[in-house]
């Protein structure tokens, strides 16, 4: 049965919220008078959902959201907002609260909001469990020249690498940084042929290039192969490529300041192998699982 922790300093409001949720009889309800008491209860037993007022003594709802995100990141929080607490609610949402219900519309909105948030949280937990069951995978993507697709792909690969036990959280970050650099190079310097001085082009520049020939029809081809011991990434763009002989050697101090030097240095630092094809429009990166990283199913931290 689902457990919901209601955090509210007003006894009357606690009864109102609890009464609205007991109508369907499918939840176990627990109560706390403020954020401090709520965290103490969560230490004893982690709930499936927290519903909290924003303005409370000792520890308010905003502080509770921040603390919960640190100690119990999988527990979603719904805010109950009173008139005048809009700015606090906005800040709490930015800090990680899942949703909110105005106190004036509790009877109308609370039950459905709870059902929606719990459904999404359950789906996320199931997704995480499924990722942990994955022992290896291979997939191919064909990306248009659209920067948000780069971030989405990087996030997906990071979650798979971490979930399968291939790497720890630091390795997850390293894979993400190296992959982001390689994909950004393929997008900006490869397909769109923007110069090295335009590492962070504006949206207007990107959109203009995307609509011009020959850049408009180009794609980025990405192959990811992830096994328990090795991760391999191949990224190819349809640009003219570059002279790979201009890439500084790994031990060359000028690598950090040369054109594209920062990206190459990060990729080399975080990957075990980084190689380009002769045309300079395809990079292959290989990362091996560190011995200290337990294999899938191990007792890693």
CA distance 192 to 143: 13
190 and 238 in contact (C-beta within 8 Å)? yes
Predicted confidence at residue 200, as pLDDT, reads: 61
Question: Among the residues of the chain, which ranges form H helices?
Answer: 11-21, 35-44, 61-71, 86-95, 106-133, 147-163, 169-184, 203-210, 261-270
Query: Residue 256 above 50 pLDDT?
Result: no
Structural domains in the chain?
Answer: 2-131 (3.40.50.2300), 135-288 (3.30.565.10)
Selected residue with higher pLDDT from 200 and 225: 225
27-32/2-7 β-pairing: parallel
Segment 32-49, tens digit of pLDDT:
999 999 999 999 999 999
Cβ count within 10 A of residue 19: 12
Tokens of 301: 């931290």
Instruction: Judge if pTM exceeds 0.85.
Output: no
Segment 104-146, tens digit of pLDDT:
888 988 998 898 888 878 776 777 777 777 778 899 999 999 9
Selected residue with higher pLDDT from 81 and 296: 81
Q: Which residues contact 113 (CB under 8 A, 6 or more apart)?
A: 78, 99, 101
């Amino acid at each position: 049965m689902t457990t919901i922790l209601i955090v509210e300093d007003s006894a009357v409001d606690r009864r109102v919220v609890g009464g609205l949720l007991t109508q369907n009889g499918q939840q176990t309800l627990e109560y706390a008078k403020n954020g401090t008491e709520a965290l103490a209860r969560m230490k004893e037993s982690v709930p499936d959902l927290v519903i909290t007022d924003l303005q409370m003594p000792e520890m308010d709802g905003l502080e509770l959201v921040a603390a919960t995100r640190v100690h119990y990141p999988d527990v979603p929080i719904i805010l109950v907002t009173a008139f005048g607490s809009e700015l606090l609610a906005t800040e709490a949402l930015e800090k990680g609260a899942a949703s909110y219900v105005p106190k004036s519309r509790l009877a109308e909105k609370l039950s459905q909001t709870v059902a929606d948030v719990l459904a999404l949280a359950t789906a996320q937990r199931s997704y995480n469990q499924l990722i942990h069951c994955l022992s290896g995978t291979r997939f191919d993507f064909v990306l248009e020249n659209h920067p948000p697709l780069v971030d989405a792909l990087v996030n997906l690969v990071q979650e798979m690498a971490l979930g399968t036990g291939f790497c720890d959280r630091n390795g997850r970050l390293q894979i993400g940084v190296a992959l982001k650099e390689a994909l950004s190079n393929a997008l900006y310097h490869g397909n769109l042929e923007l110069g090295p001085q335009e590492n962070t082009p504006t949206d207007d520049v990107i959109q203009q290039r995307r609509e011009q020939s020959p850049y408009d029809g180009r794609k980025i081809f990405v192959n990811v192969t992830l096994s328990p011991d090795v991760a391999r990434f191949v990224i190819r763009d349809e640009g003219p490529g570059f002279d790979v002989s201009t890439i500084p050697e790994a031990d060359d101090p000028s690598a950090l300041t040369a054109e594209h030097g920062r990206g190459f240095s990060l990729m080399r630092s975080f990957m075990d192998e980084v190689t380009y094809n002769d045309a300079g429009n395809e990079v292959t990166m290989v990362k091996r699982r560190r011995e200290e990283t337990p294999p899938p199913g191990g007792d890693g931290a």
